[in-house]
Amino acid sequence: MINSKKIPSGWKSTTLGTFMEFKNGINADKSAYGQGTEFVNVMDIFKSHFLKREDIQGKVQITEKQKAESSVMYGDLLFNRTSEVPNEIAYSSVYLDHEEITFGGFVIRGRQQEDLLDPYFAGYCFNSSNIRREMIRRSQGVVRANIGQKDLNKVPILIPSEPEQKQIANTLALWDNAIEKTEALIAAKENQFKWLTQKLFKPTASWESYKLSDLFENRRETKNVDLPLISITREKGVVPHSETNRKDNSNEDKSKYLRIRPNDIGYNTMRMWQGVSALSTIDGIVSPAYTVCTPKKIVHPEFMAFLFKTKPMIHKFYRYSQGLTSDTWNLKFHHFSEVKASIPDIETQSEITKTLNSAKKEIDTLRKISEKYRLQKRGLMQKLLTGKWQVNAQQRVSEAEYKEVSA
């Protein structure tokens, strides 16, 4: 139980088992899936804190008795009961529809026997850091993490009054709405960027065809062991390895590691056909598994970096890659050199680069805004769901409080 001295005024401290009943889901034969009643699986739960029937893709053929025993009704909570790692155990979603559905065997249904939790409040409450920590602490297993009904019964929870629950949910929903709109705008801008790239990289009669050996040299500079280790990623481009979440598997002896300088293009020799290449803005060293290309003066480095990300060029890299299987294909520089590319004059390259950079900057700005909204929401959840900040039906988060979570 929670220390009584830490219980906010007007809030109640209890455990889930005092007012909720838990039940495991249905395990059916393989032939039963694909038709029948909609059923919630683990992936549905990971997608959102709130679920409606239209969000659920899976179906299972079950008896009327099974439907009655394993129904999911408005306001029911659904938890994943098994996970590869403890940190992903007991994520939850609240069902917010009136059409009855069912749920799968790797899911636990929680149903209130006493209506203490507003469904919208519950969607946020059960994904707060405090309850998540209690869930994870009670999970078990060596190879896989598991949590059972008895474990969930013991999870402590702080429950505010119904009006405060609704106000908390309304406040957090404002941030969800802002995040959703920003993410939709990002998706639209990304589609626009793809269209713009296809349009700008469509060759005209004035474009000339070159082998990449005419446009690049292979930088094979080694023995720069004092320079920082660099990684080349599909998402972030060329970044210091310390800024990635990847384990450092580099050799202790880095004398054979390749130097990469600003305006060089580095690519993963075994993943170039998947588009893993990027322009460097920093000086460092990369594993010999990468290839480092230095652009010659007739090309704009950023233009070529954008070109290498287009589908036609990635397809060419795929065709020139060597190997027996997709896991062993590689594109060494001597094969890379044979690939042909059509490019305009250097002035046109510069104009295309400027246009694409402007569009890319808009997307990057929106991503930063979205991340700021997410950080603000996490801060608000920590304050509101623990009662450190209390609101009622007539109150909203004050300007001072907003600035605190925005900092």
- Give the pLDDT mean for 346-367: 97
Lowest mean pLDDT among 149-153, 233-237, 385-389, 401-405: 401-405
The pLDDT of residue 3: 56
pLDDT band at 392 (very low <50, low <70, confident <90, very high): low
CATH assignment of 4-159, given 3.90.1150.10, 3.30.70.100, 3.50.50.60, 3.90.220.20? 3.90.220.20
The pLDDT of residue 9: 86
The DSSP 8-state label assigned to residue 228 in this structure reads P
Q: Which residues pair with 84 in a beta bridge?
A: none
Query: Does residue 403 carry a pLDDT above 50?
Result: no
Q: What fold characterizes domain 161-207+344-407?
A: Helix Hairpins (1.10.287)
Residue bearing the bigger pLDDT, 84 or 40: 40
pLDDT band at 241 (very low <50, low <70, confident <90, very high): confident
pTM of the model: 0.81
The pLDDT of residue 258: 93
Question: How far apart are alpha carbons 220 and 230 in whole angstroms?
Answer: 15
The alpha-helical segments, DSSP class H, found in 142-289 are 149-153, 162-200
The pLDDT of residue 100: 87
Distant-in-sequence, close-in-space partners of 250: CB < 8 Å, separation ≥ 6: 229, 241, 257, 287
CATH assignment of 208-334, given 1.10.290.10, 3.40.1030.10, 3.90.220.20, 1.10.10.10? 3.90.220.20
pLDDT band at 270 (very low <50, low <70, confident <90, very high): confident
Query: Does residue 165 carry a pLDDT above 60?
Result: yes
pLDDT band at 324 (very low <50, low <70, confident <90, very high): low
Work out the mean pLDDT of the chain and round it to a whole number: 89
Instruction: Establish whether domains 161-207+344-407 and 208-334 are of one fold.
Output: no
Q: In the block, which residue shows the tokens 């990847």? A: 246
Question: How far apart are alpha carbons 128 and 111 in whole angstroms?
Answer: 19
Query: Does residue 7 carry a pLDDT above 90?
Result: no
Lowest mean pLDDT among 107-111, 196-200, 221-225: 221-225
The residues spanned by each domain of the chain are: 4-159, 161-207+344-407, 208-334
Mapped onto helix, strand or coil, the DSSP state of residue 61 is coil
User: What are the DSSP E strand ranges found in 129-192?
Assistant: 145-146, 156-159
Nearest to 389 by CA among 134, 154, 172: 172
Structure tokens at 364: 């990057």
At residue 338, φ and ψ (nearest 5 deg) are -80, -15
Distant-in-sequence, close-in-space partners of 254: CB < 8 Å, separation ≥ 6: 225, 229, 285
Query: Does residue 196 carry a pLDDT above 70?
Result: yes
The fraction of the chain above a pLDDT of 70, given in percent, is 93
Nearest to 217 by CA among 155, 276, 293, 313: 293
- Give the pLDDT mean for 296-316: 94
Question: How far apart are alpha carbons 352 and 330 in whole angstroms?
Answer: 30
Lowest mean pLDDT among 85-99, 195-209, 268-282, 286-300: 268-282
